[in-house]
Amino acid sequence: MTNPMLEKLIRFQRPEHTLPYARNLSVETLSGIFGTDEDHYRSVLNAFDVQRTAVAARLTADPQVSAHLEKLPFERGARLVAIGESTTADRLSWFEILRATLETQRPDLELSFANLAVAGATSTQMLAAVPAIRRQTADWTFCMLGGNDSQRLGSPDGPQLVTRQETLRNLTELRAQAIPGDDSHWVWVTPTPVDEPLVAAFPFFRDAGIVWTNADLSSLAAAILDMTDLAVDSTPAVADVHAFTEDGLHLSIATQEALAARVLQALSEGELR
């Protein structure tokens, strides 16, 4: 019997990222954190693996995507690191789809990957994680932050969790401090829009008194797109009524796939805004 809430928790939450001092957590420990047994935990992970593989296969069946895969800028042996919030921490995220796609379609590149995203993280929290990010010695860093900063408390015109000025300061410092040298590359991915009616109706958000508005998110996205380095506008990936899960905030698998395609296009063409 499946437990949708448990599956959602395992999909988006990665205890090993929020407990960096607890290295090499065993399957027994991880399954216990989620309140389930090892067999069930493994079965949920395996189901995500199957879905991710299927999405990667479907993605590469697109001739345009196949063409992009042949024109990627990565050097052989490059290390790709992602930092972000739940949209990236998702085990079916655009970055995990990118990983599955590149591992199967471009094994000649011998790439390595690290997903450091933490569900619920703000840019302030990620800035505090700079030492851990620097230890990854990334050749390419993908940053998708600001969605959680943009949540408002109480109402659509209530205070933001992190002010816009502070978000932009944090992102600028994160870029400067995480890879201080000139030998690595940085890619911005803007936070996605939300489905405002679904967000407003979702019981957890409603009871917690938190809300997101597309006016805030689009304003932040525009500021990020004005920054230096390669930038990917995530908005076109959010294309239809099935773009989100039931909470109106987290992306559906189809939208994650579309976002992965946009990132591949940006990498192939050099700029996508």
pLDDT at site 14: 83
Distance CA 189, CA 177 (A): 18
DSSP assigned state of 6 = H
For the segment 111-138, the average pLDDT, to the nearest whole number, is 94
User: How confident is residue 239, by pLDDT bands cut at 50, 70 and 90?
Assistant: confident
pLDDT surpasses 50 at 133 = yes
Does any domain span residue 18? no
Domain containing 208 — which CATH number?
3.40.50.1110
pLDDT at site 198: 95
Domain housing 111: 56-269
Does any domain span residue 106? yes
Does any domain span residue 73? yes
pLDDT surpasses 50 at 272 = no
Does any domain span residue 45? no
120: left (phi over 0), alpha (psi -120 to 50) or beta: left
The tokens for 244 are 């989100």
Distance CA 133, CA 83 (A): 8
pLDDT surpasses 60 at 273 = no
Judged by average pLDDT, the poorest of 29-33, 157-161, 220-224, 242-246 is 29-33
User: Domain count of the chain?
Assistant: 1
pLDDT at site 1: 39
